[in-house]
Structure 1
């Protein structure tokens, strides 16, 4: 991905406040069901993942950033002037890219390397979501208190009739002990940047994690797109899982059948394209931040 050198963009107060308001409205809509469920003490085995496995508060999604290299006019006197990683001058307020990179340089380097390398790899579409099946293989107690669609014996039979090739460490680490040796790869945290590839659903969901960790460097609109991608992927992840998700309106993608495999791959290809487009936008935001220093 090429290095970008851009002149600082300038947004008038009317322009950036309109974008900020639209962002907050969209973020509120995306998190509304979660907030209602929290108040009621209700659980959702599909969408709660976005707020538990990824432990980021809705307020972080709601906070709009213009991204590095953008000057907000008439902003210095507002509350935003007190936000961390911003600096004011006579022209307005902008993200303090130099300070953020100085404090988080190693993390930014890792994220840029991981996203760039992942995007450059050839997508693999032969996993069929079997990571979720490997997480319950030959085990009576499961991560989700939801019945198995095929029962335990049927689920185990599906695992045993397939080759598993999970490349994502944060999925692989939840495999049952009996499933671990059945995976043709043995990913570790250290080998993530060597193994992750665009076809992996979990790598696609993680684009949201990397975007939010970059804080003000990433434009708010990009952050919400990564969250939406993670939500959409999560639904396929659980529809293709061994669990019976029908009570939550999720009809199964039966990957144990030829038709189910084809449907899984069709959606997987679309998610790979979406995730790579967002990886490119995040890497570009990092490069703009470096150029602004």
Structure 2
């Protein structure tokens, strides 16, 4: 027997037989194990990583939570094994099986309003590609207390400061701007705030695209786990570029720098940025589709 569609959440609801949903859950677990395995090994050994740790410190979803598979809103799990999900929050009995308790989820997740408004606003804007990752440089400007003290600055203290002072800093993302040093903040062309995030975020911003992972997992279990993993994978790739273009010398960690202080480095950065913006747009629309589906059902 294969999955079928029945009338349900926002029109069509996907029903998954027990062999189908178990296979999806196992495939998802294998995928996540491959994505987080190195981090877990380092964590067990008490080792730190200046690039990848960010995905588990700034973002607060635990690897075990990322590994846990959810079918997402609009899916009904069939079979006796599905009843085990009834002990988990937001799962309930539905006609024929087990699935998301949409009213309970909507009542407990007011963040849905913010996520839908933010992502819709960003999706409606053109991508701006001229920031060159200078937010990381602004976080190290005129300070001895840099965020990655175990990694040397590629151009040294004075060289880092000169790069900041010789460029136009135009960071639009509040969660990057809030880590600027005091002397760097007045140099930014914008003064982002949390209240203005939906107004200022734009689809070319690396951090706005990284945060698709955050918004996807904040809507778990309504967002299918495969989509959360897709967002995590993109965030992981973007983090690498973020740090390769930063003032830190990460060659001992296996990362060649993107030298944004040069014309060639700027051109390379923009190509990466354009690719991430295009891929982020696809994921953003998929998360928005879940938001709309929930809204229609509520």
TM-score norm. by structure 2 comes to 0.94
1:112 corresponds to 2:93: no
Q: Distance in 2 between matches of 1:29 and 1:79?
A: 26
Question: What does residue 251 of structure 1 align with?
Answer: 256
Q: Distance in 2 between matches of 1:83 and 1:179?
A: 46
Do the aligned partners of 2:210 and 2:234 also contact (CA within 8 Å) in 1? yes
- Secondary structure at the counterpart of residue 7 of structure 1: strand
Question: What does residue 138 of structure 1 align with?
Answer: 142
Q: Which runs of 5+ in 1 are unaligned?
A: none
Question: What does residue 280 of structure 1 align with?
Answer: 285
Do the aligned partners of 2:141 and 2:183 also contact (CA within 8 Å) in 1? yes
Do the aligned partners of 1:115 and 1:279 also contact (CA within 8 Å) in 2? yes
Do the aligned partners of 1:218 and 1:285 also contact (CA within 8 Å) in 2? yes
Question: What does residue 187 of structure 2 align with?
Answer: 182
- Counterparts in 2 of 1:172 and 1:75: CA distance versus 1, 3 Å: farther
1:192 corresponds to 2:219: no
Deviation at 1:292, TM superposition (A): 3.1
1:66 corresponds to 2:71: yes
CA-to-aligned-CA distance 1:157-207 (integer Å, 9 cap, x gap): 111110000000010011111100000000001000000001100111111
Stretch moving more, 145-154 or 76-85:
76-85
Equivalent residue for 1:92, pick from 90, 97, 118: 97
Do the aligned partners of 2:139 and 2:181 also contact (CA within 8 Å) in 1? yes
Question: What does residue 50 of structure 1 align with?
Answer: 55
Question: What does residue 6 of structure 2 align with?
Answer: none
Stretch moving more, 89-98 or 162-171:
89-98
Stretch moving more, 237-246 or 138-147:
138-147
Q: Distance in 2 between matches of 1:228 and 1:89?
A: 32
Equivalent residue for 2:167, pick from 162, 166, 174: 162
Question: What does residue 268 of structure 1 align with?
Answer: 273
- Secondary structure at the counterpart of residue 217 of structure 1: coil
CA-to-aligned-CA distance 1:111-152 (integer Å, 9 cap, x gap): 011011111111110100000000011112211011100001
Q: Which runs of 5+ in 2 are unaligned?
A: 1-8
Alignment length, in residue pairs? 289
- Secondary structure at the counterpart of residue 98 of structure 2: strand
- Counterparts in 2 of 1:288 and 1:75: CA distance versus 1, 3 Å: farther
Give matches, 1:223-262, under 5 Å: 223-262=228-267
Do the aligned partners of 1:204 and 1:271 also contact (CA within 8 Å) in 2? yes
Do the aligned partners of 2:76 and 2:94 also contact (CA within 8 Å) in 1? no
- Give the RMSD, CA atoms, in angstroms: 1.2
TM-score norm. by structure 1 comes to 0.96
- Higher RCO (C-alpha under 8 Å, 6+ residues apart): 1
